[in-house]
Amino acid sequence: MCKEIVVRYTDLAACARAEAPLCIEMPPDGSLQRAAEAGRLQLVDRRSGQTLEAQWLDGFVWAITPPSGLSGRLTLRVSSAPTEVRLRARRDRTTRQILIEEDGRPVLQYNYWTIDRPDRHAQVSPENRIYSRPRSNYIHPLTGLAGEVMTEDWPLDHPHHRGIYWAWPEVDYRGERGDLHALQRVFAYPTGRYRVTDGAVFAQIEAESVWRWDNGEPIVLEWARIRAYRRTGAGRCIDLAFFITALKEPVLLARRGTNLYGGLNMRLSAIRNQKFVFHTEGKQAWAGAFGIFPGGQSAGGLLIFPHPQNPHHPPEWVQYPELHWMQPTFPASGVRYELQPGRPLALRYRLWIRQGSEPSPDLWQAQWQAYTMMERGAEI
C-alpha cells in the first residue's frame, strides 16, 4: 500500500546540507495507522526512488534528510517487515536513571530520579557545601560521537552545576525567593510518570516532575521531552522541549539579578583548546563549544540552537569560559516571567553534536533553517 504526501518545508536543501530530521504529518488512513504502529513505514522519494527509514509517533512521521536531498514529493509505503530499531530509551538497572543508546552505545543519560551526594562531596570547600545537594531532572553524561564525555556533574568549584539543566536562580513564590539553579528552597522531584519511545530514527524520553517549595508544597508542574536522533555524517541532533506550568498560584522566574544567568544551563567537561562561538542576528541565534573533550583524541563540538518561537527570543548569551559553562538566557534582562496556572511556558532547543572544528557559516545556517522549519508547536 502507498500514499503520496507533499513535504511542506520551505528549504529542503538546508535540511539536506545538515542531514537534519524531517517531520511530516501523516494523512488519516486506517491501514497506514496500523502499519505505523507496527513500525512498517517507509518514505520513498518520487523523483529519485530513494527509500528512507521512517518512524511514526502521535500522528507524525519522522525521517532523516539524506545529503543527496529530497524532491519534496514522497510516497508513504508499507514495508513487508518492521524497520530495525536502532535507538532505545531504557531505565538502567544499576543507576535507575534513563539512558538513550544507539546500537548499544551511549548517547545520554537523563537523571530523572534523585541523585544523592557522591563521595567527592567531602572535597567541596565548607563554604560551598550548602550547594552540594541531591538533585534530579538533568542530562549527564552527554556522550560525543567518539565516546567523549561532554558534560560535568558535581564540579568542586560549583557543586550545584549539573550537566545540561534547566533552572532559574530566582524563583519567587508568595513573596519569598528560592533558587532552583543553586538548589536552595525549591527543587524538582520526579513524579514517576514518564514514557520512553524507541525507533529507527530517534529515541525519546518524556518525563513529569514537580517543583516543591522547601521540599513540601508542589508549586510547578513540568514536562521535559528529550529526543535524540540517529547519528549521521553531519553529527547528531538532540531536541529538548520543556513545558512548565504554575499549579495553584503565580510563580516568577528570573535570571540572577534579572540580568545575569538563568535558563538552559550547560556545564561542560574540561575542554582542551576550548573555543566558544556565539551568533545573534535578528531572529537567528546559535552558539557552540569546540575543542577536545575528555576521552576524545580529536576536536569535537556541541552546538545549541534556541527555537525562535521561544518567548523573549533571541536570547542573550552568557559564558564563563573558565568554568566551561555557557547558556542561552531566559527570560529577557530585567524581566520576572510569571508562570500562571493553566498557561504552560514552552521552551525548545536543539543540540547538535559534531566531530571536527567549528563548521562553516553556511552549515550553521542550514541547521538553524532546518530546525526552525519544524514549526508545529507540540511536535518540535
DSSP collapsed to 3 states, 9-44: CCCHHHHHHHCCEEEEECCCCHHHHHHHHCCCEEEE
- The residue with greater pLDDT, 83 or 152, is 152
Strand ranges (E), 174-271:
176-178, 186-197, 202-213, 217-229, 236-246, 251-254, 263-267
Least confident of 39-43, 133-137, 170-174, 354-358: 39-43
Find the range with the poorest average confidence among 59-68, 72-81, 129-138, 158-167.
72-81
Amino acid at 274: Q
Average confidence (pLDDT) over 22-31: 82
Neighbours of 226 (CB within 10 A): 25
Residue 204 sits at the vertex; the CA angle it makes with 198 and 210, to the nearest 5 degrees, is 135
Instruction: Report how far apart the first and last C-alpha atoms of the chain are (Å, whole number).
Output: 28
Task: List own/partner pairs for 311-320 with CB under 8 A and 24 or more apart.
Answer: 311/337, 311/345, 311/347, 312/337, 313/283, 313/285, 314/280, 314/282, 314/283, 314/284, 314/285, 315/263, 315/285, 317/278, 317/280, 317/287, 318/260, 318/261, 319/276, 319/278
Overall average pLDDT of the 61-77 stretch: 89
> What pLDDT sits at residue 121?
86
Judged against a pLDDT cut of 70, whether residue 376 lies above it is answered with no
pLDDT at residue number 1: 53
The pLDDT assigned to 120 comes to: 85
Task: Compute the half-sphere exposure of residue 321: CA atoms within 13 Å on the CB side of its CA.
Answer: 11
Q: Model confidence at 77, in pLDDT bands (50, 70, 90)?
A: confident
Q: How many CB atoms lie within 10 A of CB 74?
A: 25
Q: What tens digit of pLDDT does each residue of 213-252 get?
A: 997 999 999 999 999 999 999 999 999 999 999 999 999 9
At 172 the pLDDT is: 98
Mean pLDDT to the nearest integer, 88-97: 95
Residue 107, sorted as left (phi over 0), alpha (psi -120 to 50) or beta, turns out to be alpha
% of residues, the chain, pLDDT over 70: 96
* Cβ–Cβ < 8 Å for 194, 208: yes
Q: At 335, is the pLDDT very low, low, confident or very high (cuts 50, 70, 90)?
A: very high
Across the chain, what does the average pLDDT equal? Answer: 93
Report the predicted TM-score, pTM, of the whole model to 2 decimal places.
Answer: 0.96
Confidence of residue 10 (pLDDT cuts 50, 70, 90): low
Residue 348: pLDDT band by 50, 70, 90 thresholds? very high
Is residue 198 scored above 50 in pLDDT? yes
Cβ-contact 108, 163 below 8 angstroms: no
The one-character DSSP state at 114 is -
Instruction: Report residue 378's pLDDT band, with 50, 70 and 90 as the boundaries.
Output: very low
The pLDDT of residue 171: 98
Q: What is the per-residue pLDDT across 281-322, written as a single tens digit (0 to 9) for each? A: 999 999 999 999 999 999 999 999 999 999 999 999 999 999
